């Protein structure tokens, strides 16, 4: 039976819900071995899935675990998800903005994947910050302070955990149907009323072309319609890193600077405004113009930053304890000119090699290391000027900076 299902997908034929259920739940229960599931996932990657199959798969994912119900919490719960990028700490900024404007935020975030960091790893760089809240604690906290950012509980779409782990090591992550059902199942199971998806495109993202991003966007909106959830999408650039910092503590400190209004007007700040505006517009059913003004005010009057401090304190974190390595290493320009590009993927790889993420499953993360860009795309640069400072705890002498920075 399993062989027939794999073969059918290999031939590009449509599978029934029962066939999908047999192979996916067979895998979750340990009755289908990794090699058969890997071959099946590769057939999906190559031949795709019909909409009917994708809706069926999303249901199988959702039904594999608990579906959380926060309907007793007043207000429209708007959730946001990013397909993953380099230096993407937007959740740390936009969740407090949105919560400070009266919209309840229950954010269950993930850890880093590949070269991209995860919000939960970033938050763990705040000493004491708890990322393991129970469903009861989540409910209580959101009623008290309107915001929670915690890790995904074990019972939330367990199917995604096992399938994602296999996709990660079988080159089957970048499949549009698999990405759509993975993300949408988690958002629906975590009780969101409305969903905003930030789809990244570029060398530092899962998707490389705008056409792929548009296809994913269309699919997620359709899945949302099936489940009566409003879904909006933003397609954003991931050819250059977001903002100035990549690495856990550095990114938290950068997010704090944005919330305090110290850091303004770069690609990260602009994306935060764009996403927060969409969320406020969805949560309060307002025009984007009104929502934007509210977002801007929440930064200017300090209420978004106060909400962040309240969140960290409530989840036991000690903001004073955030540390970056004292050992640094400067990357200097080898020529003068204009900084034309900063390769996101190369910055992600560099940060990972410094220890900011896991290269192997057993590695431990060094929260204190990372990359801080001193120059951004468009800046003029003199030969010898510092382009970036690395915060390090290991030897870093052999860095090919021409792979990272393009000066012309
Ligand atoms: N993020 C997810 O949660 N799932 C995917 O499949 C890709 C990105």
> Is residue 362 very low, low, confident or very high in pLDDT (cuts 50, 70, 90)?
confident
The residue from 59, 80, 107, 167 that is catalytic is 167
Q: Please, are residues 240 and 344 in contact by the beta-carbon 8 Å criterion? A: yes
CA torsion angle 48 50 56 62 (round to 10):
50
Residue 333 shares a structural domain with residue 313: no
Judged on CB neighbours under 10 Å (0-12, 13-18, 19+), 406 is middle
Q: Give the number of residues written for the chain.
A: 408
- Taking the C-alpha atoms of residue 179 and residue 185, their distance in angstroms, rounded to an integer, is 10
Residue 94 shares a structural domain with residue 226: yes
Count: domains in the chain: 3
pLDDT tens, 296-351? 999 999 999 999 999 999 999 999 999 999 999 999 999 999 999 999 999 999 99
CATH of the domain at 11: 1.20.970.10
Active site residue 237: no
Among protein residues, the one with the nearest Cα to ligand 1's atom 3 is: 183
Q: Is the dihedral of CA 99, 115, 326, 254 positive or negative?
A: negative
Residue range 181-192: mean pLDDT, rounded: 95
How high is the pLDDT of residue 216? 98
CATH of the domain at 310: 3.40.1030.10
Q: What is the pTM of this model?
A: 0.94
How high is the pLDDT of residue 97? 98
Q: What mean pLDDT, rounded, does the chain reach?
A: 95
* pLDDT at residue 251 tops 90: yes
Domain that holds residue 150: 78-320
Residue 146 shares a structural domain with residue 280: yes
Residue 7 shares a structural domain with residue 113: no
Ligand 1 geometric centre to CA of 385 (Å): 38
Give the β-pairing of 386-391 and 230-237: unpaired
Which of 182, 187, 197, 233 to mutate to test ligand 1, by most ligand atoms within 8 A of the CB atom?
A: 182
How high is the pLDDT of residue 154? 83
pLDDT tens, 49-90? 999 999 999 999 999 999 999 999 999 999 999 998 999 999
Residue 87 shares a structural domain with residue 154: yes
Classify 371 as helix, strand or coil.
strand
């Amino acid at each position: 039976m399993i062989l027939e299902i794999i073969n059918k997908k290999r031939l590009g034929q449509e599978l029934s819900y029962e066939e999908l259920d047999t192979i996916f739940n067979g895998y979750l229960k340990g009755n289908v071995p990794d090699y058969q599931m890997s071959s099946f996932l590769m057939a999906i990657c190559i031949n795709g899935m019909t909409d009917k199959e994708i809706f069926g798969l999303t249901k199988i994912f959702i039904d594999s675990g608990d579906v959380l119900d926060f309907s007793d919490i007043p207000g429209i719960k708007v959730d946001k998800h990013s397909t993953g990028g380099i230096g993407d700490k937007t959740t740390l900024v936009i969740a407090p903005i949105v919560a400070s404007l009266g919209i309840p935020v229950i954010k269950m975030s993930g850890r880093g994947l590949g070269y991209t960091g995860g919000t939960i790893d970033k938050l763990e760089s705040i000493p004491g910050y708890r990322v393991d809240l129970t469903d009861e604690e989540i409910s209580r906290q959101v009623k008290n302070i309107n915001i929670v950012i915690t890790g995904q509980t074990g019972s939330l779409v367990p199917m995604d955990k096992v399938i994602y782990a296999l996709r990660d090591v079988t080159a089957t992550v970048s499949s549009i149907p698999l990405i759509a059902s993975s993300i949408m199942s988690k958002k629906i199971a975590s009780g969101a009323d409305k969903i905003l998806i930030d789809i990244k495109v570029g060398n530092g993202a899962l998707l490389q072309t705008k056409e792929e991003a548009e296809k994913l966007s269309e699919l997620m909106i359709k899945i949302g319609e099936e489940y009566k959830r409003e879904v909006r999408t933003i397609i954003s650039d991931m050819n250059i890193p977001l903002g100035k910092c990549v690495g856990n503590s550095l990114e938290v400190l950068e997010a704090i600077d944005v919330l305090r209004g110290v850091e303004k007007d770069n690609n990260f700040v602009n994306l935060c405004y764009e996403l927060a505006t969409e969320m406020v517009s969805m949560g309060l059913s307002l025009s984007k113009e009104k929502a934007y003004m509210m977002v801007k005010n929440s930064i200017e009057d300090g209420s978004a930053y106060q909400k962040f401090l309240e969140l960290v304190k409530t989840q036991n974190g000690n903001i004073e304890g955030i540390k970056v390595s004292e050992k640094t290493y400067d990357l200097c320009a080898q020529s003068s000119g204009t900084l034309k590009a900063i390769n996101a993927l190369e910055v992600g790889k560099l940060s990972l090699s410094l220890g900011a993420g896991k290269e192997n499953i057993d590695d431990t993360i060094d929260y204190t290391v990372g990359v801080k860009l001193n120059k951004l795309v468009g800046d003029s640069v003199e030969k010898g000027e510092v382009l970036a400072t690395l915060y390090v705890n290991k030897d870093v002498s052999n860095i090919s900076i021409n792979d990272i920075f393009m000066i012309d």
